[in-house]
């Protein structure tokens, strides 16, 4: 078998690159393989790349809050400001404004989690919301409806009661460049990357993994193989024959994100991310004076589970549905004639919490099921995966004794068993992209 590496990572998305960097820093010789022509060209490229500290669980929120500090001190994380000839991404730390609604229990549980983590926020009255976002209508339209519902766009008697502005939040406007930054840092740590290299077989030597076979027939040896294949994770797990023993599995979910011109009166100087379960959407400003509109997957919208190699890459009526929902908040937005934005896939687990774990095949690991919400966490996910892989290869039983992981900026430690493939479905989850 040609060439051997300490670890092969299938995927050069943000998760695969971050794991490569973390293993490289431990002195491992790592090779990332990607079927696409460059790093970050998979589902990461379509990410809205919103950074926010609130999830529905304490451990999920802790990891997300910690990630804010990685983005804030990006050059430090990468190991220098000059690692990438293309320059570094910018973190727009503008905050995230979440509407208080019946669906989120007026954010009482979320604020309680933020209090436990000491993550800063401010409560805003409807007047203060309109001051920050002058174009925003603070009526309530709950529950979320589809435009063919006769009640669509008809406001309830009771308007919104307010919102919460979470300060450790914002967005990265170029998720592909963020991945390129990490890939270059990984290369500085000795990592190798090969593109247009599709893995078609996970090779075994007896009961252990021993490498991969590429589509062109080439074999590459390694005692460690990591599945970081994003929405293709289930296909790669099937190659390794590890799926049937997993309690939590993954599948690909189609998503549309609309980009529309900023409405008149939208103030970029006070603008921020918005999350609005009253109308089932999140928004953020986008480069080129655009507003980006993503769905929070309200119950009235069907889920479109797809084969990641065979799905509709054109916009559907869902694009218009999302724009019309924002028009409830911002009537002067209107629906543009030209559809712009992104059609991409989430890799979703049953409880919308990722799997960062070993598998039942010794040497084969999983960093999958990122469920539309792990861009922000990728640097930490990479470090966590590197620790899990190192400990397991050194003889630790990750299932019986999951390692603890310390979040250095916020001083919180959690058990990696939270992300186990063998967990019971986490009933504390929002069961949505909010995690
Ligand atoms: C529309 C959208 C909006 C999102 N918004 C946010 C957000 O606001 N905030 C947030 O935190 N997260 C968000 N996410 C989620 C986040 O972007 C993902 O969790 C993250 O990018 C996943 O990274 P990845 O590396 O696991 O996957 P990918 O980027 O998909 O990388 C996997 C790579 O594996 C490669 N691959 C697959 N199969 C093979 C094979 N057989 N051989 C070789 N290579 C293979 C693929 O080509 C791909 O490049 C969003 C996701 C989407 C789709």
In a domain, 431, yes or no: no
Burial track 86-122 (b if 16+ CB lie within 10 A, e otherwise) = eebbebbebbbbbbbbebbebbeebbebbeebebebe
pLDDT at 110: 97
Q: Distance between the two ends of the chain, CA-based, in angstroms?
A: 42
Domain finish residue from 346, 371, 401: 346
Q: Is 385 in the pocket of ligand 1 (CB under 6 A)?
A: no
| Alpha-carbon separation of residue 60 from 55, 142, 329, 333 (angstroms) | 6, 27, 30, 34
Residue that is last in its domain, among 314, 331, 346: 346
41 vs 12: CA distance, rounded Å? 8
Read off the pLDDT of residues 221-246 as tens digits, 9 standing for 90 and up.
Answer: 999 999 999 999 999 999 999 999 99
CATH of the domain at 179: 3.50.50.60
Cβ of 61 less than 6 Å from ligand 1: no
Q: Which of 13, 273, 345, 432 to mutate to test the pocket of ligand 1 (most atoms within 8 A of CB)?
A: 13
What's the mean pLDDT in 115-137? Answer: 97
Residue 336 lies in a domain: yes
Q: Are 228 and 11 in contact (CB under 8 A)?
A: yes
Alpha-carbon distance of 386 to 358, in angstroms, equals: 11
Q: How confident is the model at residue 430 (pLDDT cuts 50, 70, 90)?
A: confident
200's tokens:
């078609």
- Res. 1: pLDDT tops 70: no
* Whether residue 211 has pLDDT greater than 70: yes
pLDDT tens track for 372-387: 999 999 999 999 999 9
Q: Is ligand 1 within 6 A of the CB of residue 179?
A: no
- CA separation (Å) from 109 to 103, 114, 150? 11, 9, 33
Q: How far apart are CA 369 and CA 180, in angstroms?
A: 22
Phi then psi dihedrals of residue 48, to 5 deg: -80, -15
CB 377 within 8 A of CB 62: no
How many CB atoms are located within 10 Å of the residue 131 CB?
13
Please check whether residues 183 and 329 belong to one and the same domain.
no
pLDDT at 3: 65
Of 45, 48, 89, 340, the residue with max ligand 1 atoms within 8 A of its CB, to mutate for a pocket test, comes to 48
Per the structure, how many domains does the chain have? 2
Say what the pTM is: 0.98
In short, whether 361's Cβ falls inside 6 Å of ligand 1 is: no
Question: What is d(CA 389, CA 193) in angstroms, rounded to the nearest whole number?
Answer: 19
180 Cα–ligand 1 center, Å: 14
426 found inside a domain = no
Distance 25 CA to ligand 1 centre (A): 23
* Any atom of ligand 1 within 6 Å of the Cβ of 33: yes
Q: How far is the CA of 11 from the centre of ligand 1 (A)?
A: 9
Range of the domain at 320: 96-167+251-346
| CATH number assigned to the domain comprising residue 111 | 3.30.9.10
Q: Does residue 238 sit in the same domain as residue 122?
A: no
């Amino acid at each position: 078998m040609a060439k051997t590496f300490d670890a092969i990572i299938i995927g050069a998305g943000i998760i695969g690159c971050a794991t490569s960097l973390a293993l490289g820093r431990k002195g491992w010789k790592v090779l990332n393989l990607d079927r696409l022509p460059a790093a970050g060209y998979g589902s990461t490229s379509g990410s809205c790349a919103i950074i926010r500290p609130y999830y529905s669980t304490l451990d999920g929120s802790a990891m997300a809050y910690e990630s804010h500090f990685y983005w804030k001190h990006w050059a430090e994380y990468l190991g220098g400001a000059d690692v990438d000839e293309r320059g570094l991404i910018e973190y727009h730390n503008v905050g995230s404004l979440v509407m208080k609604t019946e669906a989120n229990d007026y954010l009482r549980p979320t604020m309680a989690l933020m209090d436990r983590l000491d993550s800063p926020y401010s409560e805003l009255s409807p007047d203060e919301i309109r001051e920050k976002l002058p174009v925003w209508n603070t009526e309530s339209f709950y529950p979320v409806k589809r435009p063919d519902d006769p009640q669509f766009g008809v406001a309830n008697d009771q308007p919104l009661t307010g919102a919460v502005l979470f300060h450790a939040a914002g967005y990265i406007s170029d998720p592909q460049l963020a991945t390129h930054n990490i890939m270059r840092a990984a290369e500085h740590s000795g990592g190798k990357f090969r593109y247009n290299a599709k893995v078609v077989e996970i090779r075994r030597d007896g009961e252990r993994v021993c490498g991969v076979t590429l589509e062109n027939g080439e074999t590459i040896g390694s005692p460690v193989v990591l599945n970081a294949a994003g929405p293709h994770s289930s296909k790669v797990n099937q190659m390794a024959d590890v799926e049937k023993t997993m309690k939590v599995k993954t599948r690909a979910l189609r998503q549309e994100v609309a980009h529309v011109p900023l409405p008149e009166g939208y103030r970029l100087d006070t603008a921020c991310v918005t999350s609005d379960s009253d109308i089932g959407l999140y928004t953020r400003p986008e480069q080129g004076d655009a507003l980006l509109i993503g769905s929070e997957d309200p119950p009235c919208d069907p889920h479109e589970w797809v084969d990641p190699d065979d799905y509709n890459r054109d916009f559907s009526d869902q694009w218009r549905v999302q724009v019309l929902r924002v028009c409830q908040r911002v009537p002067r937005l209107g629906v543009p004639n030209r559809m712009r934005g992104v059609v991409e896939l989430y890799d979703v687990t049953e409880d919308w919490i990722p799997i960062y774990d070993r598998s039942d095949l010794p040497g084969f690991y999983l960093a999958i099921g990122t469920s539309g919400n792990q861009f922000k966490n990728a640097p930490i996910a990479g470090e966590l995966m590197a620790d899990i892989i190192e400990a397991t290869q050194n003889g630790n039983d990750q299932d019986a004794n999951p390692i603890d992981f310390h979040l250095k900026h916020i001083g919180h430690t959690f058990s990696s068993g939270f992300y186990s493939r063998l967990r019971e479905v986490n009933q504390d989850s929002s069961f949505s992209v909010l995690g």
